[in-house]
Structure 1
C-alpha cells in the first residue's frame, strides 16, 4: 500500500493556496473551535485509576492536523489531563504523512499518531512499531462504531486503533429555493436522480455542473464519482474486491460504474451548467465546479461535505438557505452506501498513560467534547450527540453516518497503490472526460497496476 496525501487533505491545501474564503470549516478536519466547554459531557475519572498514578507522565501525539484546527484537539485533551495529572504534548506537521513512516522506521515514534488512511496504518503496522489497541479500546469501538470502521484499523486479524474524525463524500449540492419554486423532489433512488436531471434539462437548462482541475491531482473528482457508482451498482463486497485488485480494474463491475458516472458527467444534455460543454469539466477547478448553483445556471453538483467551504462568504448553507446537499441515492431507497474518509488513533507505546489516553479517545464522551469544541468536525461514533455538531451540513453527515442502513466504505483511490490512486486513475479520468472511451480508460488503468 502506497503512502501519499489523501484527497481530503489535498482539497484543504488547494483551497488555502487559491485564497478561498473558508466560510464553513471542512468536515473531519476540526475547526476554529468555540469555548463551549460548559456544554461538554462530564468525564468519568474512575476509568483511569486502573493505570495507577499518572501524574507528571507525558503522552506525545503526532498528526498532520495543524493550526488553527489543532486548537479544539488540544482543548479536548484537558479533561483527561485534569483527571490523571498526565500531560499531552501535541505536534502538528504538514509533512506528517511522509514523516510518520520515516520516524517509525527509524525508531523515533510518537506515543500516538492520528493516521488518516488505512493504507498508511497498515504500512506503520508493517514496520513492527505499532502496538495493538488495548482490549478496552476494542470494546469501545465494538460499541460505538460499525464493523466496517473497525476493519479499517485491523491488520492480519489484530486491531490497532479507534477511529477519530470522519468525512462524507456521497452528497449532491443544490439550491433549496430552486427546488421549492419548481416543485422538484429530493430523489431517493438513482433512477429518480436521472428523472430529476431529465426534468431540469427539459426546461432548457444544463442540470449538472462539475470541475476536476486540481493541479497535479487533476481528475480526482471523477474517481469519487466512479467509487460512488461502484458502491451503488455492485455493492460493498465487490467494491472491496476492486480496491484490493482481487478483480481487474477493467472487469465488468468497474466498467459499468464508470459508464454510470458517464451518464451524468459526459451527457451533453446534462453538463456543464454555467461553465461550458463536457470538456470544460477538465479545465474547471474543483473549487469552482459547483458555484453556478448560486447563479441559477446549474442545479446539481456532486461533491463532499467539505465543499461548503468553497461558497462565497455570507452564503447560507442550510436546507432553507442558498445551498444545501442531499444524499446521493442508492440503486434502491432501502440501500445506503456511503463513501468517505476518516482518521485513526494508532499507538506506538503500551505504557499505562498511553493506554489510558487511547481509551479516552475511543469513548463517546471524547467525541461529544471534541464536537462541542469544533466547527466542522464529525465522527462516526454512534454516541455522538447530533446537537453537539455546529452546522447543518455536518449534521446531515452525522445523520448519514449514524443511519443503521448506511454501509460505509473508505475512498477507494486513497487505498490503491500510488501508481494507480495518485497517478493513472487521476490522469485517465481526465482523458475520459475529454473524450477517451470508458473501455480504453479502464484498460489503461488496469495496465498501470503494479505487478
Structure 2
C-alpha cells in the first residue's frame, strides 16, 4: 500500500499511483447485487466465519474506521470488508480524511477516537499510544502477526514492549526501473549484488550509453528522492542495526556510516559518466521532476532509474509494465546475493476500543483471508502478509513487490526521513540533499543536517 504522509512529498508522489489503482480496482469488481451497493465479486466469495464466533453474537454492532485513505482509493477497502460483515452482521463505517494525521491526535487526546485508525508511520503510532487511549491488540491478532509477518513488522507495531498494531498494507522503495527489451537486446543481466550493479553501469557506459536518469524536483519537498537513495545505501553498506541507530539519532547523522552511504550514492548520482541520461548534466537532477525522471528509459536515453513501486503510475497510458513489457523493475541488490534489505512504508491497524466486534474486525484485517480478498480488488496495493498469494495481485509490479516483501531473508525498514523529526526528515535532509546534488560536498551536507537535529 502507501504511506499517507502530510507532506507534499507523499501527496504528489502517490497521487498518480493511487489513480491507477482505482482503474484496476474497479475492473476487478462485479456489479452490485445488493441494495446497499456494496456487494462485489470479493464479497460473493464464501469465507470461513469460524474465527469470529469466539467473539460472540455481533449482529447489529458497528465498527468505525478513520484513515487518510480517501475517495476514490477507499472503494476497494470498503468492498474488502463485505465478507466480514456478512459473516458477523457487523456494519463497518469508514471515514477517510486528508487531514487524518493531525486530526487523529486531536481526536485521541480529546477522548473521541474512532474504534480503529490506519496509522501510516511508526512515530505517529507511538504518539497515539502515548495519549493513553489506544488499546493493545488482542491475542488473536498477535497470533496472526506471528504467523503471517516477520519480526521486523511486529516490532513497528510494538510500543514499550507491548504489541498494539498489526500491519496492513506496504510499499517497496528498493527498486530499479529498466527496459526489458534493452536488456535482452544488449545481453545485460539483472544484478544480484551492489558490485554487479556498478559493473552493469560501467558496461552501459562502455557501450556508449548513460546508465542512470534521476530527478528530485517535487515543489516544497524537492530533494526527497535523494533521501531514499541514501537510506537504501545506509541499509546496504552498514546494515539494519546501524540504520535504526541513525534514524533514532543514536549515532550522528554525519558519522562514518552516513558518510559512506552518501558517498555511495554519489558514485552514481554525481558521476557525470552515469547521469543524467536524456535530461542533462548532474545539476539537471535538481530541476527535473521526480515524475519525469524515469521516462527517458522508454526512449532509450537512459537504462536505469531508482524509484519506488508507485512510480509505475508515471509512465504514459499504454505503457506495458511487465517482465516482457516496455518497462519493468528489479530489486536494488544488497552487498551480497543473500542479504535482502528492503526500504519502504506501510500502515498499521491501531484500535481505541476492546469491544468484541472491534477485536473481531482486527482479527479479520490481520488474516491471510483479508489480504487475499483485498488483493483481488485493487491494483497498486500489496502487503507483507506471508499468507498473500501473489497470484491474486492484479499487476506485475505488485507481484514483484510481494515477492520481495515475502522473501525469508528480507529485512524491512521504514523510510528513515518519515521517522525523523520534521525539522530534519521533512526539511534539512531534503534541502541539504538538493544542495549536495548541485555541488555541495558530502561533509558540509551531513554536518548541516546534523546541526539541524532538535536538541
Normalising by the smaller structure, the TM-score range is over 0.9
* Structure 1 residues 33 and 366: CA distance shift in structure 2, 3 A: farther
TM-score calculated relative to the size of structure 2: 0.94
Q: Give the corresponding residue for 2:424.
A: 420
Q: Give the corresponding residue for 2:12.
A: 13
Which of 25, 31, 34 is the matching residue for 2:28?
34
Please list every run of 5 or more consecutive structure 2 residues that lacks an aligned counterpart in the other structure.
31-39
**For the residues of structure 1 that align with 2:141 and 2:386, how far apart are their CA atoms?**
15
TM-score calculated relative to the size of structure 1: 0.95
Shift of 1:39: 6.3
Q: Give the corresponding residue for 1:263.
A: 267
Shift of 1:125: 0.5
Which of 170, 176, 186 is the matching residue for 2:174?
170
Is structure 2 residue 260 aligned with structure 1 residue 248?
A: no
Q: Note if contact 2:428-2:452 (Cα within 8 Å) is conserved in structure 1.
A: yes
1:254 alignment partner, SS class: helix
2:376 alignment partner, SS class: helix
**For the residues of structure 2 that align with 1:275 and 1:227, how far apart are their CA atoms?**
24
Q: Give the corresponding residue for 1:311.
A: 315
Provide the aligned length of Structure 1 versus Structure 2.
443
**For the residues of structure 2 that align with 1:32 and 1:123, how far apart are their CA atoms?**
35
Deviations along 1:45-94, whole A, 9 cap, x unmatched? 22222222211111100001111111111111111111111100000111
**For the residues of structure 2 that align with 1:154 and 1:33, how far apart are their CA atoms?**
37
2:200 alignment partner, SS class: helix
Is structure 2 residue 375 aligned with structure 1 residue 375?
A: no
Shift of 1:13: 3.5
Shift of 1:33: 6.0
**For the residues of structure 1 that align with 2:14 and 2:116, how far apart are their CA atoms?**
28
Shift of 1:15: 6.2
Q: Note if contact 1:169-1:340 (Cα within 8 Å) is conserved in structure 2.
A: yes
1:102 alignment partner, SS class: helix
Shift of 1:97: 1.1
* Structure 1 residues 379 and 140: CA distance shift in structure 2, 3 A: same
CA-based RMSD: 1.9
Q: Give the corresponding residue for 1:231.
A: 235
**For the residues of structure 2 that align with 1:42 and 1:411, how far apart are their CA atoms?**
37
**For the residues of structure 2 that align with 1:4 and 1:82, how far apart are their CA atoms?**
29
**For the residues of structure 1 that align with 2:19 and 2:199, how far apart are their CA atoms?**
33
Q: Give the corresponding residue for 1:146.
A: 150
Shift of 1:32: 4.2
Q: Give the corresponding residue for 2:21.
A: 25
* Structure 1 residues 322 and 4: CA distance shift in structure 2, 3 A: closer
User: Where in structure 2 are the equivalents of 1:27-426 lying within 5 Å?
Assistant: 31-32=25-26, 34-35=28-29, 38=41, 42-426=46-430
